[in-house]
């Protein structure tokens, strides 16, 4: 089972993306093996952010043309999730101690990893989700094209 970063979903969906062919091979290989691919609510929020900022530049399916902007955004994200075939995990609203306060466990996990990983916030949160899912035996692999996380290679098994 695999955790997919937001950039993987976008690369798979949009044929003009530089990583599209590579992503298709990776995702189709997961599907052939019957392996589930997971994303987090953070991924969904990030998709909304990226799509809403880039909507005018994206090549949308013709069936979205008659929709207003907000419906296009919602329909596109729903279509991305469906085409890639990912499972969106539910957040667990558990609070953990972080310094003098309490925070959702994902934020606490990210705070624990921050000093070692030195990543931007969203990348750190994706790592925290992947680690949480790994503890639950839901994932064993993270796939991303984010060079700040991977260096110059795709991070996968």
Give tens-digit pLDDT for 97-126.
Answer: 998 899 999 999 999 999 998 999 999 999
Q: What is the pLDDT of residue 152?
A: 52
Question: Is it the case that residue 64 has pLDDT exceeding 90?
Answer: yes
Q: What is residue 96's three-state secondary structure?
A: strand
| Encoded tokens for 151 | 């260096």
Tens of pLDDT, residue by residue over 3-60, are 999 999 999 999 999 999 999 999 999 999 999 999 999 999 999 999 999 999 998 9
pTM of the model: 0.90
Give the H/E segment covering residue 28. helix 20-32
Rounded Cα distance, 113 and 110, in Å:
5
């Amino acid at each position: 089972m695999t955790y997919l970063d937001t950039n993987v979903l976008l690369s798979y969906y949009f044929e003009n993306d530089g990583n599209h062919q590579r992503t298709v091979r990776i995702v189709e290989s997961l599907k052939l093996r019957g392996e589930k691919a997971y994303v987090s609510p953070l991924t969904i929020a990030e998709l909304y952010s990226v799509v809403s900022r880039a909507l005018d530049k994206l090549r949308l399916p013709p069936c979205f043309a008659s929709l207003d902007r907000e419906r296009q955004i919602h329909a596109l994200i729903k279509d991305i999730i469906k085409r890639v075939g990912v499972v969106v995990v539910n957040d667990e609203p558990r609070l953990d101690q972080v310094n003098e306060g309490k925070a959702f466990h994902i934020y606490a996990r990210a705070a624990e990893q921050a000093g070692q990983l030195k990543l931007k916030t969203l990348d750190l949160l994706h790592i925290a989700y992947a680690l949480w899912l790994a503890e639950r035996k839901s994932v064993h692999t993270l796939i991303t094209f984010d060079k700040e996380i991977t260096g110059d290679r795709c991070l996968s098994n």
